[in-house]
A and B are shown apart, each in its own frame.
Chain A
Amino acid sequence: MGLKLTTSDQEQLAGARGPAARMAMSITVRMAEVCGAETLMDITAAHIDSSLYQGDATLEYAERLTSLGAKVIVPTTLNVSGVDEHGWRDWAVPPEWAVKARRQMIAYQSMGCLPIWTCAPYQTDQRPKFGQQIAWGESNAIVFANSVIGARTERYPDLFDICAAITGRVPATGLHLTENRAGQLFMRLKDVPRHVQEDDSFYPVLGYLIGKVAQDRIPVVEGIEVTPSEDQLKALCAATTSSGAVALCHLIGITPEAPTLEAAFQGRAPQQTIEVTMSELRAARRELTTADGQKLDMVVLGSPHFSLAEFQKLAPLLAGKQRHPDVQFLVTSSRLMTTLAEQSGCLEPLRQFGGKITVDTCILTTPMLYPEIKVLMTNSAKYAYYAPGMLNTQVVFGKLEDCVRSASEGRVVRDESLWES
């Protein structure tokens, strides 16, 4: 079976909606053939990771599309950019990088995208609905949309997400189709105590382990006995797709499509069954740390972007304390969440503590850190996973309370009691 295009698809491909839509449709059709899709289908929203400046190729691509008159035809939000538009001068960002990253921001805004500049679009009013067919970029957001909300998106890579927003069409394949959403790998939590499951640090650790084992398969996780907060699920989702290529993770009792094992597997048998005990979780937690001493240069929080609830949790921990002069303290978030945090009085304790905020981007997507920063500490598995390779730093993974205490004492301190028992 070859790919069948509708009359409207063929018209876009022939240039009836202009040269930008023609280029976007040409890429879409070639990708549909790679995927083995038989048709294209409509999507009703998009989230664009291509807005992230990664060098001249990504800028040239954006400006080629705008010069051809590109306009998105579905509601489309923008992921992080390559620069904190108004705050980059406080950091090591080279001016020529800032200029080009900003040009790329402007290019995508001129196509009609909403400049929310966040990797947590599911925590804005553009959050998709259950069952909605969407084309999302940004790996953590993809997992969250599929697994927590039950919206349907493939893992759309940079450069392709914008094509979907311009044409409104994607290959009818992968996770858009019910039959491809069945679980493949069964991971059963065994004897993981409730007090561990209630702790924030359980979720990035479990997510890291899920991604490492599942790779690009669809895992089904049974045994979460508590009701995780949205930010705990956010941390889990982001971790699964750092250590693996997960796009959908069925959490029994949490994922809308997975009220039961039967539903998650769509009646099929798992390819593999794995028991997850405290021993595997301890090992996963150890792997998230690469530094072995107490030396610490910086604490960084907010990957995915810090939410209002996270700011509200952080603020009382900081009250009356100050960071050690040798340790920087940074939170990465969105303009929206930062504004809400300011209105709710959560930013003043952060300022008093000596902490800073970066918006629009994060430490992995803009060259903001000075080379003297050698050891980072974070509560984010995504930061912990990527920092050693991308930033050439060592990293310590710890819970939020440990991050604050370490920043205040000027050395790495971690409460091991949760994991030792």
Chain B
Amino acid sequence: MGKLVRGKPVVAGEAQGEALVSDEPLSFWGGYDQHTGEIIDRRHPLSGQNAAGRVLVLPSARGSSTTTAVLLESIRLGNAPGAIVTNGVDHFFALASIVADEMYEKPIPIVALGANDFATLRSGQWIEINLDGTLTVED
């Protein structure tokens, strides 16, 4: 049995996948390749990793206000993370998912955790995201 982590369903939905975790924020504009899902910010610890279909765990989006457009395009192309988990509510990720819902009826789940729960997540864990925002985490 995995452990349960209670989060806030910022954009509700279900998904599961392998966790890709960093404690550094990421700008998707200049940091995420919408055509492949690779993280391309060469100053970011996850540089070179592929986040497509995975549960991407980041404190927040960094910097550029174009992050939303890049995430929307990656959702349209099928190269987005399966879900995004943040430390507190991140408005940019939420907006991209809401617009993906309005445009394509394809939102991805966005879940906000408290700082203590956020700090327990590790890359490689298997995370299942439930509609109510709870996470089931298996090592």
B63 contacts A241, CB within 8 Å?
Answer: yes
Given A23-B102, A157-B92, A388-B42, CB of A61 within 8 Å of CB of B72: yes
B95 contacts A160, CB within 8 Å?
Answer: yes
A159 contacts B68, CB within 8 Å?
Answer: yes
Of the candidates B29, B62, B73, the one whose C-beta lies within 8 Å of that of A57 is B73
Of the candidates B25, B70, B75, B91, the one whose C-beta lies within 8 Å of that of A215 is B25
B68 contacts A157, CB within 8 Å?
Answer: yes
Residues 53-81 of B at the A interface (beta carbon under 8 Å): 60-70, 72-73, 75-77
Q: Binding site of A, secondary structure by majority: helix, strand, loop or mixed?
A: helix
Q: Is B34 an interface residue (CB 8 A)?
A: yes
Q: Is B41 an interface residue (CB 8 A)?
A: yes
B112, closest chain A residue (CB): A34
Given A27-B99, A157-B95, A389-B41, CB of A58 within 8 Å of CB of B69: yes
Chain A residues contacting B68 (CB-CB under 8 Å) are 157-160
Which of B11, B65, B92 has most chain A Cβ within 10 Å? B65
Chain A residues contacting B95 (CB-CB under 8 Å) are 27, 31, 34, 157, 159-160
How many inter-chain residue pairs (CB < 8 Å) link A and B?
A: 120
Chain A residues contacting B73 (CB-CB under 8 Å) are 54-58
Chain A residues contacting B47 (CB-CB under 8 Å) are 389
Given A245-B61, A390-B40, CB of A57 within 8 Å of CB of B25: no
Q: Is B94 an interface residue (CB 8 A)?
A: yes
Of the candidates B41, B69, B77, B102, the one whose C-beta lies within 8 Å of that of A26 is B102
A389 contacts B66, CB within 8 Å?
Answer: no
Min CB–CB distance B52 → chain A (angstroms)? 15
Chain A residues contacting B43 (CB-CB under 8 Å) are 287, 385, 388-389
Beyond known contacts A157-B68, A245-B62, A389-B40: 13 more, CB 8 A cutoff: A27-B99, A34-B89, A34-B95, A56-B76, A58-B73, A137-B65, A142-B65, A157-B96, A158-B65, A159-B99, A216-B25, A245-B61, A389-B30
A to B CB contacts below 8 Å, 21 in the list: A27-B95, A27-B98, A27-B102, A52-B66, A55-B34, A55-B76, A57-B75, A58-B73, A60-B103, A138-B65, A139-B63, A139-B65, A155-B91, A157-B96, A158-B67, A159-B68, A159-B69, A159-B95, A287-B43, A385-B43, A389-B42
